[in-house]
Amino acid sequence: MSTKLVFFTKKSIAQNIHNYITQLVNTEHNDSSKSPIIGYKRKEFPYKFATLHGGRSYQSLILHVDPGNRSTTRGKDFQKRIQSELAFDIVAIRKHVIKSNEVYIPLEMLLNENSIDTIKQFILYAYHQDKLN
């Protein structure tokens, strides 16, 4: 459990995402930031594969695609797939810089607790990054 989950508007959705990610083998979370952020990484891998961001201006699940490689286009391609699946345009609803190795899933696009089933495949993709390179 993380004390940072209280910062989320959609607490039950954030809790479901957190529970799903933390049950993945060798996954650890870090919520020591002063910000309402929870980072997730595999113990044997140096980079985070996901971040749950509960900031006031936006609340999102951020998947780190091809972590450590800021020049990749894999994140942009993957962002298009997620946007198609969940029917949203990240540029239209977020005003921050979109990094090419990160994929943003706004929590407001996840309409209910069952939406976690829709994004599990994307979370697993980020989780298995070491096997994709």
Query: For residue range 46-94, what is the model confidence (pLDDT) as tens digits?
Result: 889 999 999 877 899 999 988 777 788 888 888 999 999 888 999 899 8
Is 104 contained in some domain? Answer: no
Is 80 contained in some domain? Answer: yes
Which contacts (CB < 8 Å, 24+ apart) does range 84-87 have? 85/118, 86/110, 86/118, 86/119
Is 23 contained in some domain? Answer: yes
More confident residue, 12 or 21: 21
Q: Where would I find the beta strands (DSSP E) of 1-133?
A: 27-30, 37-42, 48-53, 60-64, 102-106
Closest CA to 5 of 17, 13, 15, 20: 15
More confident residue, 38 or 132: 38
Q: Give the chain's largest Cα–Cα span.
A: 36
Closest CA to 56 of 8, 114, 5: 8
- CB contact at 8 A, 103 and 75: yes
**Residue 80 belongs to domain with CATH number:** 3.90.1150
Is 42 contained in some domain? Answer: yes
Is 107 contained in some domain? Answer: no
Chain centroid to CA 86: 14
**Per the structure block, which two tokens stand in for 8?**
């989320």
- Asked whether the predicted pLDDT for residue 130 surpasses 70, the reply is no
Is 103 contained in some domain? Answer: no
At 105 the pLDDT is 94
Is 127 contained in some domain? Answer: yes
Domain count, the chain: 1
Is 63 contained in some domain? Answer: yes
Q: How many whole angstroms separate alpha carbon 20 and alpha carbon 116?
A: 8
Domain hosting residue 7, numbered range: 3-97+113-132
